[in-house]
Amino acid sequence: MKTYYNPEDLKKFSKIGELQKSMADKFFSYYAEVFKEGALTAREKSLIALAVAHALQCPYCIDAYTTDTLEKGCDEEQMMEAVHVAAAIRGGASLVHSTQMMNKIKEISM
């Protein structure tokens, strides 16, 4: 069965440089720099990445950062809380726009 997403394709990520090398090199070097231990620990960054992966609903990123957070010693409870942070922001982002709706209601209602 053909599908748009194939887990095997994740392994080919590094090959994007075959079509545009310098930009790919810059991207991967930037990517590596971002995830290094800094003001945030590598573990904290991995949990943020896991949450963002869910907000973006990227299956590759979800696979990659589920593994990475487990490897960095996060447990299932922490991982699910991170996903709830993503869900809360996504839900909140919809709901906070209802203030605009409420403004418009006021504007055009008698």
Residues that bind another protein (CB under 8 A): 37, 41-43, 67, 70-73, 75-77
CB of 11 to another protein, least distance (A): 8
Question: Which CA distances in Å does 71 have to 32, 42, 76, 78, 99?
Answer: 17, 11, 12, 13, 42
Q: Nearer Cβ to another protein, position 40 or 58?
A: 40
Spatial neighbors of 66 by CB under 8 A, at least 6 apart, are 50, 79
Q: Nearer Cβ to another protein, position 56 or 80?
A: 80
Cα–Cα distance measured from residue 100 to residue 70, given in angstroms and rounded to the nearest whole number: 41
CB of 67 to another protein, least distance (A): 5
Q: Nearer Cβ to another protein, position 29 or 67?
A: 67
CB of 60 to another protein, least distance (A): 14
Cα–Cα distance measured from residue 97 to residue 83, given in angstroms and rounded to the nearest whole number: 22
